Amino acid sequence: MWCVPGPETHELLRRSEPLDEAGCAALVDSARVLSTPSRVRLLWALRGGELSVAELAEAAGVAPAAASQQLRVLRLARFVDARREGQSIRYRLHDDHIAALLEELRNHAEHARLGWSSQPPDRPATAERT
């Protein structure tokens, strides 16, 4: 049975190798999925748990048909999973990484908007880390 690796595995992956072409391409593909505001709003709504297409459409402020189209893209990219419940389909985030990613992106956007930096004042924010 397959399971999602824990934090210790992620630390190993982060430190082990530089980002290769395949890894870079995968990151770019994931970023493209997040390039549509309606998809981000759908994902944000799913942070609270499973929702139907109708519930998601209302939460994201889009038509149900548009929500269905965007959910198809999100499913193919493995950002969301779906399960059938009677006549309807309920969607949920694929894993905890998606919620964490959205929250970190929101934090970054807010910090950038406010001009905040995590760099000490005596160290330029553009300095490369080695």
Structural domains counted in the chain: 1
In a domain, 111, yes or no: no
pTM of structure: 0.77
Q: Could you give phi then psi for residue 48, rounded to 5 degrees?
A: -85, -5
**Residue-level pLDDT, tens digit, the chain, 130 residues:** 345 555 555 555 566 678 899 989 998 999 999 999 999 999 999 999 999 999 999 999 999 999 999 999 999 999 999 999 999 999 999 999 999 999 999 999 999 888 888 776 666 655 554 4
In a domain, 64, yes or no: yes
In a domain, 128, yes or no: no
Q: What is d(CA 103, CA 52) in angstroms, rounded to the nearest whole number?
A: 22
Q: What is d(CA 15, CA 25) in angstroms, rounded to the nearest whole number?
A: 19
In a domain, 67, yes or no: yes
* Residue 90 domain boundaries: 24-103
| 118: CB partners within 8 A, 6+ apart | 111
In a domain, 37, yes or no: yes
